[in-house]
Amino acid sequence: MSQNRLYHRFVLLFILLIAFGTISHADSLVSINDLNFHSAFERKAFTAVLNDQSDDYFALFLCADSAINESKYEAYKQKLGKVIEEYQCNR
């Protein structure tokens, strides 16, 4: 194998190792402290899910509305529960 070809393979291997190393660390670019929340409810919902304290994705879904709060969340949750219950009875 020629010197030139060996050199090119070494450079390519080096570039690939650097590229894969940076890709594997991409999840640490943003932390929870860097995020801005619209409400205390939104902060609570995101923090609970990200810290594995909750899996309430319905609360995260409702966070799309910046005016959501605990009382509105509870009302929507009750309505959803009734719809699910009604669906299960009609099956």
- The answer to whether the predicted template modeling score (pTM) of the entire model surpasses 0.85 is no
19 in the same domain as 3: yes
Question: Do both 37 and 14 map to the same domain?
Answer: no
Do residue 84 and residue 41 come from a single domain?
A: yes
In this structure, are 48 and 83 located in the same domain? yes
Provide the domain count of the chain.
2
34 with 19: CB under 8 angstroms?
Answer: no
Domain range for 1 is 1-29
pLDDT in tens, 13-51: 767 767 666 555 545 566 777 888 889 999 999 889 888
Shared domain for 71 and 43, answered yes or no, is yes
> Within this chain, do residues 50 and 61 fall inside the same structural domain, yes or no?
yes
Closest C-alpha among 81, 78, 41 to residue 61: 41
